[in-house]
A and B are shown apart, each in its own frame.
Chain A
Amino acid sequence: MNLSNGARESAAAQAAVSVKNVSMRYDDFYAVRDASFDVPKGKFLTILGPSGSGKTTLLRLIAGFGKPTSGEIFIGGQPVSAVPPHKRVIGMVFQKLALFPHMTAAQNVAFPLKMRRHDARTIADQVERYLELVKLGGFGSRRIHEMSGGQQQRVAIARALVFEPDLLLLDEPLAALDVKLREEMQLEFRRIQKELGVTTINVTHDQREAMVVSDEVIVMNDGLIQQRANPVTAYRTPQNAFVANFIGVTNFLEGPATSVSGNEVAFRCAGHELSGISVGSGPEIKAGMSCSGAIRAEQIRVAAAPEKLADLTFRFTGEIIDAIFEGERMVYEVNVAELGGVSFRVFDHDPIGHTQFLPGERVLVGWNPKDMHVFGNNHSPN
């Protein structure tokens, strides 16, 4: 992550895809605003964002369906704005898969080879090889509508990869699947991507999927790239309140900053002096500036007796509003009257070992300042 300038340039030179200052405007609405990033060869990058964040627009621009209003996209070092989709060597798995219903699975997989005028004698072997790669060996003669959702997914992947593209684009193909199948296919994408080493750009609104499959994550909102990091970094040190809110379950406390020393920020919330660390890329926080403290639901601990929270700096009393048993964890909603009646969501990841609280019970919640990230408030946390 901490590349020197020279290293960064050489990384850009061998990047499979390089997006430079790309904007896409529809009338007076910017779907994508000044996006720049590189994808190194062989990496799995996920663009994560809510619907309307511009992530799909960006993907379709890379695929060649539309031309950026400004900026340029480079694939393998070559500018591609003037190259139509059928001349870009990009495999794409579409949201609704877009399999051809009048063809069999094998015909679907053979289609790109025929269109790209591969030697007719090698096509059948190549198709069979890729059907086996996606574990559909022997299913080639099936019609598309005779296959299950998961099998159709696999055909779509084989079709996108069979012509050995430099780049694989995934446009939320898993969104329509049920949870079990989606998780299975996520691992499958990862396995195939590692096996072939093909550079992949995935688009999703599912933060879990982004964490599971990707080497790196780009978080987008309102057409702007919010953060680019590997999944662990994005989760541990979100760059702004949007990322903190979008990835994971996060509680926010707001108030004016009272003092700043280094990356430690103190702020006042409902008469209490709280503190946290400032790691964001946003504006520098100065005393008096309105700011938000963000803390993950699993970084807050809940207990009945104060001595159990003795190791925590901040402790407040609250009342359990709701307690949901999710199996591997307990989710509490705690109303903290001392902090102006904010509601905290708190995870307890040991619901069997710990006491379970019931709605109406008075409890203590506590956390440490190192777990709270403070952001200056010019991006509203929503």
Chain B
Amino acid sequence: MRNSRVAYPLTWRVMDMLENVCARIWPASLHRLLPYLMLLPAVVLVGLLVLGLFQIGDASLRVLDTSTFLFSEDYSLENYRQAITSGFFAVVASRSLMGSVIVTVITLLFALPYAYLMVRTQSSGLRKFLLVALFLPFFIGQVVRAYGWLIILGNQGMVNEALGLVGVPPVRLLYNYPAVLFGLIQYMLPFAVLMLAPALTAIPEELESAAGSLGANWVRTFRHIVLPLARPGLVGAGLVVMTLSLTDFAIPAILGGGSQDFIANAIYDQFFRTSNQGLGAALSLMLVAVGSIMVGVVFAVFGAGTLAMTGGRK
């Protein structure tokens, strides 16, 4: 017995020793706790955010006294009333909501063919090119990218100079609603493609061949086979794009030039410009509520299973 023990390779003995040490520190009876322990960091992180939400909830109920710049001791719904009745916030809110819907629809329209081509192409060169083109913008960052659009689309920018060469007077391409939407779509496209690609990969190519042999041309194959089966990916990508663009700050700020504020910009102004934390907090909570309702509606219409959460039971 002893002899055979000596004959073990060194690495085995080291591993045995480590195992023994581990068993001392973390006895087998505690093994069942391990998964929960591993969950802890995520729970703490989200939990901290919820604590912050309570803080914001508290702040949203206190009114700023503009003469003393102090917050009232007692609670009131004044901030919410102001947020709802003020024409300015109504404009900002509808601009953000409509913007996020438009951005979502156009982004999905653009992302679906891109992801489809990337998944289905036979040429590995083309696939690599599409992937690199997709990831490159991620390395640049949102603010730099928005600044890039300023250079390209500005009054003295490349586009206007090119137009000048053919005798067209400078066009104002920036600081308007379409410019913000354009910037958002360009920013969201990679997210949408990355979420759609796995959903499309999961559709066996044979299904499309089968649809063809059963008499469906490519349009009908796409409508009856690819689209229904890609629904989980479409819903997931749509949700991400919608919530991200609804709450975006940098693109409306830079490409809108202050004239096209989204909700996040309005909240920023309340917190850091007018220092009305109460109103800012009320707006924040309303944004959270609107976002949650949107996600809830999507789940109610398409089912939570569309996010592939019940995939295992299929």
Measuring CB to CB, which residues of chain A are less than 8 angstroms from any residue of chain B?
63-65, 84-86, 88, 90-92, 94-96, 98-102, 111-112, 115-116, 145, 159-160, 163
Contact = CB atoms under 8 A, between A and B. Distances in A.
A76 to B, nearest CB: 16
Nearest to A171: B206
Nearest to B229: A102
Given A65-B209, A86-B213, 18 more contacts: A63-B209, A84-B217, A85-B213, A86-B211, A86-B215, A86-B217, A91-B213, A92-B213, A100-B207, A100-B211, A100-B225, A101-B314, A111-B214, A112-B215, A115-B216, A115-B220, A159-B214, A163-B214
A112 B204 CA distance: 19
Contacts of A115: 211, 214-216, 220, 224
> What secondary structure prevails in chain B residues at the interface with A?
helix
Instruction: Name the residue in A84, A102, A145, A159 with the highest tally of chain B Cβ atoms < 10 Å from its Cβ.
Output: A102
Contacts of B217: 84, 86
Contact of A86 (B212, B225, B229): B212
A157 B24 CA distance: 62
Size bracket of the B interface = 10 to 19
Contacts of B314: 101, 145
Q: Rank and list the top 3 A-B pairs by shortest CB-CB distance, nearest first.
A: A98-B210, A115-B215, A112-B214
Contact of B216 (A86, A90, A92): A86
Contacts of B211: 86, 100, 111, 115
Contacts of B204: 96, 98
A185 B224 CA distance: 29
Nearest to A115: B215
A84 B216 CA distance: 10
B224 A111 contact: yes
B3 to A, nearest CB: 39
A161 to B, nearest CB: 11
A94 B209 contact: yes
Nearest to A95: B206
Contacts of A145: 314
Nearest to B207: A98
Nearest to A90: B213
Contacts of B209: 63, 65, 85, 94, 98
B213 A63 contact: yes
B87 interface: no
B41 interface: no
A77 to B, nearest CB: 20
A84 B225 CA distance: 18
Nearest to B224: A111
B125 interface: no
B228 interface: yes
Given A86-B215, A115-B216, A96 B228 contact: no
A99 B207 CA distance: 7
A111 B224 CA distance: 9
Interface in B191-243: 204, 206-207, 209-217, 220, 224-225, 228-229
A31 to B, nearest CB: 15
Contacts of A159: 214
A108 to B, nearest CB: 9
B206 A163 contact: no
Given A100-B207, A102-B229, A163 B213 contact: no
Nearest to A85: B212
Nearest to B214: A112
